Amino acid sequence: MISMTPRKDISLYRTFLTPLVAILLTLVIGAAIFDFLGFNPLESLYHFFVAPISRYDGIGDLFVKACPLIITATGLVFCYRANVWNIGAEGQLVLGAIFAGGVALAFPDWPAITLMPAMILASVIGGICWAMIPALLKVRFNTNEILVSLMLTYVAALFIDWLVRGPWRDPMSFGFPLTKMYTDAALIHRIEVPFIGMLGQLHWGVVGALMLSLVGAFLLSRTILGYKVRVMGDAPRAGRFAGFNPNLITIGVMAIAGGAAGLAGMIEVSASMGQLQPNVSFGYGFTAIIVAFLARLNPVGVIFAGLIVALAELGGDNAQIVLGMPKVVTGVFKGILLFMLLAGETYNRYQIEWRRVGPQSALREQ
């Protein structure tokens, strides 16, 4: 019989050692899988973890890949710390992209100093509006926010598909489901580093993502709002006794998560695509859930967790291109990495005990 009891004290040594051991185990298991399938283990691991960041532009691309994950996961941290299970960040990201795209397409002649803030505000409003549906239904009718937010993701995907194939489709797109290209004022430009130049696709949205994560850490740890969120998540009865309104907390954290996801959608489209298309997100909203938990629900940790997951994504793509490795193999390797990190986090938080249950003990437990 396996029993798990929460650890009373988690040492700093264990906190840093556990993810390192998890990554080491992933490398060993991954190397064995690659060797079994006929790929050189060392070469495969090189293309997974070293080649994507072996050049300056690769480092820039890593941060670009992590950007929507960091922004979305930062918002989700607030939900999960309050025990509000928002699983629909993917749909909120799509709605943010739609709202921002609507502004960009409706006012193409506006200057950047006006258009960009308007797009940012619109994206946040779009994400919040989509997040408020499960939030208000939970507050008013006690519906399950997991199911409602998840189902709304598919509604959002169908909605943007209808827009780009119908009323918003560019007449000059030759039948492809694409909107008109954004004007230069609606685009997020790349960063040029002195003496180095362009770092791949690195853009100013990455700077915004890092700043948002730091702001999220400050709000969660140094403000009354963050204190209420933490109390309602750790001890809801104590929070109610203290006079905290759980309904307002639910609405507040859902608004934060939805607004952050919407902002991520706007940045992803304006920085990388320049127009709306059926797929503006490649599962970032779902992957951000994993990032949030890998970060131990810490906004600063989200930065490092986002970079790890982004490196696995880039490494998988690189291994497919260079080695001809099947996509399913790279997917299995990324899955092992995430499983080991989550298993390590479980071991870090809980004391695991193995007990042999005899016949008499089994009868007593029954």
CB atoms within 10 A of CB 362: 10
Higher-pLDDT residue of 121 and 359 is 121
Task: Work out the percent of the chain whose per-residue pLDDT is above 70.
Answer: 96
Other beta carbons within 10 Å of 20: 10
- Strands of the chain (E only): list them: 2-6, 190-193, 197-203, 350-354
pLDDT value at 75 more than 60: yes
DSSP one-letter string for 345-365 = HHHHHEEEEE----HHHHHHH
- Give the pLDDT confidence of 348-357 residue by residue, as tens digits: 777 777 766 6
State phi, psi for 353 to the nearest 5 degrees: -125, 135
Q: Give per-residue pLDDT as tens, 96-148.
A: 999 999 999 999 999 999 999 999 999 999 999 999 999 999 999 999 999 99
Name the pTM for this structure: 0.89
Rounded to whole angstroms, the Cα distance separating 182 from 204 reads: 17
Sign, CA dihedral 179-182-186-189, equals: positive
Q: How confident is the model at residue 323 (pLDDT cuts 50, 70, 90)?
A: confident
Q: How confident is the model at residue 364 (pLDDT cuts 50, 70, 90)?
A: low
Report pLDDT for 277: 94
CA distance 318 to 310: 12
Higher pLDDT, 30 or 186: 186
CB 212 within 8 A of CB 69: no
* Residue range 244-256: mean pLDDT, rounded: 96
Q: Which residues contact 332 (CB under 8 A, 6 or more apart)?
A: 33
Mean pLDDT within 322-326: 87
The phi, psi pair for 95, rounded to 5°, reads -65, -35
Q: Where are the domains of the chain?
A: 40-324
Question: For residue 180, what is the DSSP state?
Answer: P
Determine the pLDDT at residue 118. Answer: 97
Give CA–CA dist 40/292, Å, rounded.
33
230, 234, 236, 235: which is closest to 253 by C-alpha? 230
> What confidence category does residue 1 fall into, taking pLDDT thresholds of 50, 70 and 90?
low
C-alpha to C-alpha distance for 216 and 78, rounded to whole angstroms: 8
Decide if pLDDT at 189 tops 70: yes
Q: Which CATH number fits domain 40-324: 1.20.1260, 1.10.3470, 1.10.1200, 1.10.287?
A: 1.10.3470
Helix (H, G, I), strand (E, B) or coil at 242: coil
Per DSSP, helices labelled H in 295-326 are: 299-323
Give me the pLDDT at residue 212, please: 97
**Least confident residue range of 102-106, 169-173, 185-189, 292-296:** 292-296
Give the lowest-confidence range in 247-256, 300-309, 320-329, 353-362.
353-362
Instruction: For residues 275-280, give the mean pLDDT.
Output: 94
Q: What is the rounded CA–CA span in Å between residue 269 and residue 267?
A: 6
Cα Rg of the chain, angstroms? 22
Residue type, 73: A
- The rounded percent of the chain whose pLDDT value lies above 90 is 61
Q: Where do the H-state alpha helices sit in 37-174?
A: 41-45, 56-81, 89-106, 112-141, 145-165
Task: Give me the mean pLDDT over the 250-266 stretch.
Answer: 97
What is the Cα–Cα distance from 347 to 148, expressed in whole angstroms? 32
